[in-house]
Amino acid sequence: MPSFIFEETYDRRPGSTDAEAGQQLARAWDCDVILDIGEEPEDVSAAEVIAALALLVGVLKGVGHPNHDDATCTKVEADPTDDPFIWSVRADYSEAPIQPGKPNAQKPDVRDPQVSVKCRREPYYGAVDLLGKAYRNSAGDYFDNLPPRFIAVASITVVRWYLTFDIDAALEDFINRINLFTWRGLPPDSVCMMDIDAQPFSENDWNGVQVTYSLEHKPVTPDQDVTATGGWRPSRVLDQGYNFIDGDGKKQAAPDDYGQPTRTPVLLDGLTGARLAAGQPPKYIDFVEHFRVDFSAI
């Protein structure tokens, strides 16, 4: 019984395609035939070579292309060459044509995600204005009712398709998380996962899940550290209060100009609780509200 060794020599699209019939692909092999004693080359048939290709390489009519999910083998041919111990083998593949009204001919789970963005303004109340100037009156006291201002916010929607989807894992891994790394050109800490919606989805013979991710991009505000990369970074609260820590480590009530406990909070140093020296910029304390995760899979 003869043995066969296949060496692939071609795997690409041919020089022409048919837009109506779909994209075409082709693969080719040189097949070395090894005969047992007493066997002759003319005893080898094309059917044997094609059967060996199916067994050894996994190529046969109706089976998909290993690198193109939408391509299916439509024809396999084997022909002898001038060398009686070498056969030329070819397999043709065809991808499904692009369907009118369909985003593309790819299966949804290998399709590029659909991304949409909506920008809006949002009221914001902070201790400083757009230029970093503190909201104080001419006597240096903070106003009781700070004026509102607005920041620009972008709502981002990403739609992806999966064969299966673990919504519990998504809740644990993504909801209320912010981006650890740059995501779609947006800097770290600037995007927060707000909502995830998963629905059954079918298209042609594909059945799976359509998942819609709703995220929000927020820029840095003047109240945040100028070294911050995104507006979802930990909240910064102005370090101020009615008490302070003295040089002996004891908590003291901050006095007013008449030696009585002040009714106006005083600025603190942001570290030890000491009063902030005159002329020093306000200090802020950071608080963690969101864990950071890698959004690259979205």
Every domain of the chain and the residues it spans = 3-95, 108-230
pLDDT at res. 224: 60
Residue 70 DSSP class: T
pTM above 0.95, yes or no: no
Q: Among all chains, which residue has been given the structure tokens 């795997």?
A: 11
pLDDT in tens, 214-255: 999 988 765 565 455 567 877 678 899 999 999 899 999 999
How many residues in total does the chain contain?
298
pLDDT at res. 158: 95
- Written as one string, the DSSP assignment of 188-250 is TTSEEEEEEEEEEEEETTEEEEEEEEEEEE----TTS-TT-S-TTSPEEEE-EESEEE-TTS-
Beta bridge partners of 157: 116, 214
Residue 62 DSSP class: T
Q: Say which residue, 177 or 145, is predicted with more confidence.
A: 177
Residue 61 DSSP class: T
pLDDT in tens, 61-117: 888 888 887 788 999 999 999 998 999 999 999 886 655 545 445 788 888 899 999
Among 95-99, 171-175, 222-226, 283-287, the minimum mean pLDDT is found in: 222-226
pLDDT at res. 230: 65
pLDDT in tens, 133-147: 777 888 777 777 777
> From CA 30, how far away is CA 57, in angstroms rounded?
12
> From CA 284, how far away is CA 277, in angstroms rounded?
15
Residues 290/232, Cβ–Cβ less than 8 Å: yes
> From CA 268, how far away is CA 225, in angstroms rounded?
17
Share of the chain above pLDDT 90, in %: 42
